[in-house]
């Protein structure tokens, strides 16, 4: 029994020793961690001191006279020895860049500036040229828009397009053409006025019968019932439109300003003929009636007449 008790006491002592050793190890680990923290704090302090010394070196003026400013040079050398090599190398590189690179950089900036100015001049010249062309094109289009109406009327009168009667035929052609007696065509007359026109306007005859190659004369009557003079101008067309190229006017009052004094009344003649080729055109085979229509407008500054052969309000 005594042996067992002694063995138990020995085992208990061994366990206590191991526990004490474990506690000692933990204390050593804690002490080691504290030492490491202190070392890190010391390194941080050293780094801050090195940065402070580098800042002092940078802020010191550059010395160009080694004789008169020897103390400053010595102070700089001492600071440089104390600073780390890496920071000194960087400082030296920066000093070299400050001394050598600025002239080149200035030259490059001047070259770039000159190139940019040249580009700006070129672009401004191009823009001016483009604007000139655009302005010229705009003026040309405005001129064409003003000239389009009279040019189109001349073309319609020459070709009979759009139901416009053809004008300006040679007198010799009228004298030498042969009437087509077997083809009788009824010509009806129509008269209209624009809403702003105060004249009384109507044809003196409603219809006449002609044959191709024979001249005919018709009259319209216009009256100004107002107490003021009015200037009117007329436009016309022929229906069907395809017959316009064969309807030839020798004398007409269209597109000419007509002035009527208060209560004045006038007769306006229309001298025309149907071209004999009308009978030879297959499109005109079933056309037996042609309508000549005139419309009077009050002549006002800036007012444009509708084109012949097109509808109007």
Q: What is the pLDDT of residues 22-73, one digit of tens each?
A: 777 776 777 777 667 676 777 767 767 766 765 665 555 544 444 555 666 6
Q: Compute and round to an integer the Cα radius of gyration of the chain.
A: 57
Q: Rounded mean pLDDT of the chain? A: 75
Domain positions in the chain: 2-78, 162-298
pLDDT interval class at 229 (50, 70, 90)? very high
Of 55-64, 116-125, 298-307, where does mean pLDDT reach its minimum?
A: 55-64
CATH homologous superfamily for the domain 162-298: Ctag/Cox11 (2.60.370.10)
DSSP result, 102-116: HHHHHHHHHHHHHHH
Structure-model confidence comparison of residues 240 and 22, the more confident one: 240
Beta-carbon contacts of residue 184 (< 8 Å; ≥ 6 apart):
209, 210, 211, 288
Mean pLDDT of 269-279: 92
Q: Quote the distance between the C-alpha of residue 121 and its chain's center.
A: 23
What is the side-by-side strand order in the sheet with 230-239? 207-210, 185-193, 289-298, 230-239, 258-260
Mean pLDDT of 220-236: 93
What residues are paired with 235 via a beta bridge? 295
What is the C-alpha to C-alpha distance for residues 40 and 158, in angstroms, rounded to an integer? Answer: 108
pLDDT interval class at 161 (50, 70, 90)? very low
Please give the model's pTM, rounded to 2 decimal places.
0.45
């Amino acid at each position: 029994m005594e042996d067992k008790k002694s063995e138990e006491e020995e085992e208990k002592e061994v366990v206590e020793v191991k526990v004490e050793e474990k506690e000692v190890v933990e204390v050593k680990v804690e002490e080691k961690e504290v030492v490491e923290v202190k070392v890190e704090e010391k390194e941080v302090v050293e780094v801050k001191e090195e940065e402070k010394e580098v800042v002092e070196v940078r802020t010191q003026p550059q010395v160009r006279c080694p004789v008169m400013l020897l103390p400053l040079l010595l102070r700089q050398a001492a600071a440089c020895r104390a600073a780390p090599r890496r920071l000194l190398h960087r400082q030296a590189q920066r000093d070299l860049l400050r001394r050598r690179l600025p002239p080149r950089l200035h030259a490059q900036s001047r070259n770039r500036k000159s190139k940019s100015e040249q580009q700006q001049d070129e672009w401004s010249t191009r823009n001016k040229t483009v604007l000139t062309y655009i302005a010229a094109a705009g003026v040309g289009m405005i001129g064409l828009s003003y000239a389009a109406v009279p040019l189109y009327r001349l073309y319609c009168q020459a070709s009979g397009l759009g139901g416009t009667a053809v004008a300006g035929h040679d007198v010799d052609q009228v004298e030498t053409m042969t009437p087509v007696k077997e083809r009788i065509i009824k010509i009806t007359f129509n008269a209209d006025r624009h809403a702003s026109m105060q004249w009384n306007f109507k044809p003196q005859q409603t219809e006449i019968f002609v044959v191709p190659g024979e001249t005919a004369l018709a009259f319209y009557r216009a009256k100004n019932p107002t107490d003021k003079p009015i200037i009117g101008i007329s436009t016309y067309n022929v229906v069907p439109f395809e017959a316009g190229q064969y309807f030839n006017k020798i004398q007409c009052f269209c597109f000419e300003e007509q002035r009527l004094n208060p209560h004045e009344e006038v007769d306006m003649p229309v001298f025309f003929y149907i071209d004999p080729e009308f009978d030879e055109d297959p499109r005109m085979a079933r056309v037996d009636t042609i309508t000549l229509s005139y419309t009077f407008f009050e002549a006002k500054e800036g007012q444009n007449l509708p084109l012949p052969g097109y509808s109007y309000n």
